[in-house]
């Protein structure tokens, strides 16, 4: 936080510049500021203030004799003040009406996790016109409700894994054709009795223990069960839900195709996104990354507004907007905030 290093007048001028520039991507001149935002000063005074703001790196000029444009640090100051206000005022920008409707919609489809997250990202992107991303609850952290095996085509079996969070994963794998469906059922029963209620990543480490133990004991059924479970657990690829790339192309900031390409590549490379968002997920509430604060090279020059959603107190996943640094932070923040809260509440209700 770098708050309060500006006196009231300066910060008001900064806000004016930021807001005007967010509104229309044109350098903001002193004359314009005096006219549009009626401070009690002449343009000359504003000019002096703006020169000061430039000196401390909050504004910059594209060239001499153009107006000013906020720098990343300028946006940062602006956003920090916003977030400060936000705590008091809460998400006032989103109509309660909308929230209710959206909650209802989620309620209807909460049983279908991936459907629900498609809905979330597409709503978020369509109301914001930025690219929206959601990470569903992490599979590893989900708790096992039950696992089942179904014999398939003689020498295959399908593992179906259900978690308390409603995540369903399935996987086909080869088995010894001698193994009967009853065997599979017994294996499943054993595994369920042993592991249900634990988080999947806990289970994974428990398995490693067991494997050693059972190897010593040579219990055939159990060691086979553990083996199969091991296979079934390797549901590694995490889903990432993305929406709104095409809408974002309408933004003047993306008139240059190369930026879109960067963004689109970064999104395709899920690891990058997951890593980025994971980094944001440790903090409470809404977090904002501006331009070059962004650790991912491809995404410097873009801003990310993200919030975790929680079931009770446990953070489950993250919902984010990616847009140009010239982003409507105030709107974006409250949208992400509200939507994340709706999603969290939906998970709570599920119980």
Residues numbered 253 to 312 that lie near a copy of itself (CB under 8 A) are 254-257, 260-261, 264-265, 268
Q: What three-state secondary structure class fits 167?
A: coil
Q: Least distance to DNA from the beta carbon of 32, Å?
A: 5
Q: Least distance to a copy of itself from the beta carbon of 268, Å?
A: 6
Q: Which residues bind DNA (CB under 7 A)?
A: 27, 29-32, 40-45, 47-48, 50-51, 54, 61-68
Please tell me whether residue 154 binds a copy of itself under the rule CB under 8 A.
no
CA within 13 Å, CB half, 288? 32
For residue 226, what are the contacts with CB-CB under 8 A and spacing of at least 6? 207, 210, 211, 214
The Cα–Cα gap between 106 and 200 comes to 26
Edge-to-edge strand list for the sheet holding 168-174: 144-152, 156-163, 168-174
What separation in angstroms does the CA of 250 have from each of 127, 197, 258, 262, 324? Answer: 14, 47, 14, 16, 12
Report the run of H or E that residue 346 belongs to, with start and end: helix 329-350
Residue closer to a copy of itself by CB (options 7, 112) is 112
Residue closer to DNA by CB (options 9, 224) is 9
Q: Least distance to DNA from the beta carbon of 66, Å?
A: 6
Residue closer to a copy of itself by CB (options 148, 294) is 148
- Where residue 39 falls (left for φ over 0; alpha for ψ -120 to 50; beta otherwise) is beta
User: Sign of dihedral through CA atoms 135, 138, 144, 150?
Assistant: positive
Residue closer to DNA by CB (options 59, 288) is 59
Residues numbered 92 to 151 that lie near a copy of itself (CB under 8 A) are 111-112, 145-146, 148, 150
With CB under 5 to 8 Å by kind, the binding choice for 146 among a copy of itself, DNA, none is a copy of itself
- Residues binding a copy of itself (CB under 8 A): 111-112, 145-146, 148, 150, 152-153, 156, 158, 160, 162, 164, 166, 168, 170-173, 245-246, 249-250, 254-257, 260-261, 264-265, 268
């Amino acid at each position: 936080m770098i708050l309060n290093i500006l006196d009231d007048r300066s910060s008001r001028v900064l806000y004016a510049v930021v807001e005007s520039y967010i509104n229309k991507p044109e350098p903001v001149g002193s004359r314009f500021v005096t006219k549009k935002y009626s401070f009690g000063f002449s343009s000359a005074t504003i000019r002096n203030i703006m020169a000061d703001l430039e000196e401390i790196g909050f504004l910059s000029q594209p060239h001499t004799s153009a107006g000013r444009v906020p720098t990343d640090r300028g946006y940062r100051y602006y956003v920090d003040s916003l977030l400060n206000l936000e705590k008091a005022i809460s998400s006032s920008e989103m109509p309660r009406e909308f929230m209710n409707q959206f909650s209802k919609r989620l309620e209807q489809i909460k049983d279908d996790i991936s459907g629900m997250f498609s809905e979330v990202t597409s709503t978020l992107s369509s109301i914001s016109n930025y690219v929206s991303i959601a990470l569903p609850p992490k599979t590893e952290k989900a708790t096992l409700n039950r696992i089942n095996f179904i014999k398939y085509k003689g020498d295959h079996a399908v593992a179906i894994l259900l978690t308390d969070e409603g995540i369903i994963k399935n996987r086909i794998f080869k088995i010894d054709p001698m193994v009967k469906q009853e065997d599979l059922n017994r294996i499943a029963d054993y595994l369920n009795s042993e592991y249900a209620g634990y988080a999947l990543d806990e289970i994974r480490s428990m398995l490693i223990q067991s494997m050693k133990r059972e190897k010593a004991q040579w219990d055939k059924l159990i060691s086979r069960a553990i083996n199969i479970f091991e296979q079934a657990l390797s549901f590694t690829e995490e889903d990432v839900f993305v929406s709104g790339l095409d809408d974002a192309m309408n933004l003047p900031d993306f008139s240059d195709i190369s930026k879109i390409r960067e963004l689109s590549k970064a999104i395709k490379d899920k690891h990058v996104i997951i890593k980025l968002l994971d980094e944001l997920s440790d903090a409470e509430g809404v977090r904002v990354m501006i331009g070059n604060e962004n650790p991912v090279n491809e995404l410097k020059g873009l801003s990310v507004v993200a919030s975790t959603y929680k079931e009770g107190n446990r953070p489950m996943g993250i919902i984010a907007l990616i847009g140009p640094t010239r982003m409507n932070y105030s709107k974006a923040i409250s949208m992400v905030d509200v939507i994340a809260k709706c999603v969290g509440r939906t998970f709570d209700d599920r119980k």
